[in-house]
C-alpha cells in the first residue's frame, strides 16, 4: 500500500470510529485546544465548569460565609461525601472511602494498618518491585516502623512468595511505566488464602477501567484523583477501607479529624466509626471542592463504556504506530492482551527524551520515563480516534 493510501485508510477509520463513539460528546465537558493531549495519566484535563465552581468557593463560601461554610457549605463532611462520589468508579458501596491527604500518606496509613490487623507472628511486607518509587519508599519506612521485613517481588511472584509470616502486600493495579494491568481478583484471593491483607494502589486504573473493590474483597486501597479523575494538580487522594474492617482499622496517623468527638478536644484518642477513621487533619478545602466539581463529568457515564473505548483507543494507536513508524524504531512494552492492559501505551524508543520533546513541539503531548520510554495515556472521556491517528502519524514522521 502506498503511503498516501495508508494515510487515507487510517484517517477514514478514525473518522468512522469517532462517529460511532458513544462517549464522543463528553469532550465538550473539558477545556481543550488543538493539541493532542495524551498525558492524562499524569494530569487530567480541566473540566470546563470547574473554574466557576472554584470561584464560588473562594468568593462566596470563603469570602462571604467564612467560618460558617464549615457547616453551611458542607466543608466538614466533604471528605466522606466526595469519597461516596468516587466509590462507584472503583466498584465500592458508599461509606468506605474518605478523601484527603496525598497518595503517599494514604499508602502509609493503609500498609501500617494492615500490619497491625495481621497481628503477632506476621512480620513481613511484600511490595511490588516494579512499583512507583514512592510506594517503595513508604513501604520500607512502614516496615521499619512495624518491625517487619520488606520483600520486593514482582506481582507474578506474589503467590509463591506468600507465607505464614506475610502481613501485608502492596501492589499497583497498573504498572506506571508499561501500562500492564495486574490481576487484582486473583492476586487478592492469593493474599487472602495466605491470611494476609491486600493493599492496592489504583492511581493508574481508577477512572479508566472497572476495579471491583467490593466484588473482589479488596481490604484496603488508595489512589490519586488528578489523573483519570481530572481533579487538578495536587488534588487530594483517597483511602478505601472495606466495611467489615473499619472497626479494626488502626491508623498510624490519628489526627483530630478522625476522632469520635473532634470538637471535644479530649487528650485521649477515640477513633470515629466508619471510613472517617482515615481522616487526619483539616481538609484541603479548595482543592477538595475543585475535585468534587470535576467529578460531575462522570454523571451518566458507565465505567464499562469507558473501558471499552480505552481498549479501542489503545488498539487503534498500536495499529497506527505499526503502519506509520519505521520498523524497528519502537518496541511496545504494553501487553497486547486486553486483560493485561491499562489505559496507556508505553513504547521503548532510542533517544526517547528528545523524541518526546519533538512530539510536544508538534502538538502531541505525552511523557517520557527514563531511560528510554515514551508514555501515552488515553483518557476516554476526551481523547478521540482522530487524536490517536494524528499522534501516531506525527511520531512516525519524527522517527522517519
Catalytic center residues: 132, 201, 226-227, 375
What distance, in Å, lies between the first and last C-alpha atoms of the chain? 17
Distance CA 359, CA 166 (A): 45
Residue 217, all three cell numbers: 474483597
Quick one: which H or E segment has residue 91? none
Distance CA 90, CA 92 (A): 6
Closest CA to 400 of 325, 301, 328, 347: 325
Q: Which is it for the CA torsion 204, 206, 211, 213, positive or negative?
A: positive
Query: How many residues make up the chain in this entry?
Result: 400
Give the full edge-to-edge strand order of the sheet including 344-349.
330-332, 344-349, 373-377, 367-369
- The CB density around residue 251, as the number of other CB atoms within 10 Å, is 21
Using a 10 angstrom Cβ sphere, with 0-12 exposed, 13-18 middle and 19 or more buried, the burial of residue 56 is middle
List alpha helices for the chain, DSSP H. 3-19, 50-56, 69-72, 78-86, 103-118, 133-146, 158-161, 184-193, 285-294, 303-324, 352-361, 385-399
- The phi and psi torsions of 375 (rounded to 5 degrees) equal -110, 135
Residue 114, all three cell numbers: 494492615
DSSP-assigned states of every residue in 20-66: T-TTGGGGGGB---SSEE--TTTSPPPBTTHHHHHHHIIIIIIIIIG
Amino acid at each position: 500500500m502506498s503511503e498516501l493510501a495508508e494515510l487515507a485508510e487510517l484517517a477514514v477509520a478514525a473518522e468512522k470510529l469517532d462517529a460511532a463513539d458513544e462517549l464522543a460528546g463528553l469532550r465538550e465537558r473539558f477545556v481543550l485546544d488543538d493539541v493532542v493531549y495524551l498525558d492524562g495519566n499524569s494530569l487530567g484535563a480541566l473540566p470546563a465548569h470547574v473554574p466557576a465552581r472554584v470561584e464560588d468557593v473562594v468568593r462566596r463560601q470563603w469570602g462571604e460565609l467564612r467560618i460558617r461554610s464549615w457547616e453551611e457549605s458542607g466543608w466538614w463532611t466533604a471528605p466522606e461525601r466526595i469519597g461516596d462520589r468516587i466509590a462507584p468508579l472503583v466498584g465500592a458501596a458508599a461509606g468506605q472511602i474518605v478523601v484527603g491527604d496525598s497518595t503517599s500518606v494514604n499508602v502509609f496509613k493503609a500498609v501500617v494498618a494492615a500490619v497491625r490487623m495481621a497481628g503477632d507472628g506476621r512480620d513481613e511486607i511484600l511490595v511490588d518491585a516494579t512499583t512507583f518509587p514512592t510506594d517503595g519508599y513508604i513501604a520500607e519506612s512502614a516496615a521499619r516502623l512495624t518491625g517487619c521485613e520488606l520483600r520486593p517481588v514482582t506481582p507474578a511472584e506474589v503467590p509463591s512468595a506468600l507465607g505464614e509470616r506475610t502481613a501485608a502486600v502492596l501492589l499497583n493495579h497498573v504498572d506506571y511505566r508499561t501500562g500492564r494491568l495486574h490481576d487484582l481478583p486473583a492476586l487478592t484471593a492469593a493474599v487472602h488464602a495466605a491470611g494476609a491483607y491486600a493493599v492496592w494502589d489504583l492511581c493508574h486504573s481508577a477512572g479508566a477501567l472497572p476495579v471491583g473493590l467490593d466484588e473482589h474483597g479488596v481490604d484496603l486501597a488508595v489512589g490519586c484523583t488528578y489523573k483519570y479523575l481530572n481533579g487538578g494538580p495536587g488534588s487530594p487522594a483517597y483511602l478505601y477501607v472495606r466495611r467489615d474492617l473499619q472497626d479494626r482499622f488502626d491508623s498510624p496517623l490519628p489526627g483530630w479529624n478522625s476522632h469520635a468527638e473532634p470538637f471535644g478536644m479530649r487528650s485521649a484518642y477515640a477513633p470515629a466509626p466508619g471510613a472517617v477513621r482515615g481522616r487526619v487533619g483539616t481538609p484541603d478545602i479548595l482543592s477538595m471542592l475543585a475535585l468534587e466539581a470535576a467529578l460531575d463529568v462522570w454523571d451518566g457515564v458507565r465505567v464499562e463504556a469507558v473501558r471499552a473505548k480505552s481498549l479501542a483507543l489503545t488498539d487503534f494507536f498500536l495499529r497506527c504506530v505499526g503502519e506509520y513508524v519505521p520498523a524497528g524504531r519502537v518496541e511496545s512494552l504494553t501487553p497486547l492482551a486486553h486483560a493485561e492492559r491499562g489505559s496507556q501505551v508505553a513504547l521503548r524508543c532510542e533517544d526517547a527524551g528528545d523524541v518526546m520533546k519533538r512530539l510536544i513541539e508538534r502538538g502531541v503531548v505525552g511523557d517520557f520515563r527514563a531511560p528510554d520510554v515514551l508514555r501515552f495515556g488515553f483518557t476516554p472521556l476526551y481523547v478521540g480516534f482522530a487524536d490517536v491517528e494524528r499522534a501516531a502519524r506525527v511520531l512516525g514522521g519524527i522517527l522517519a
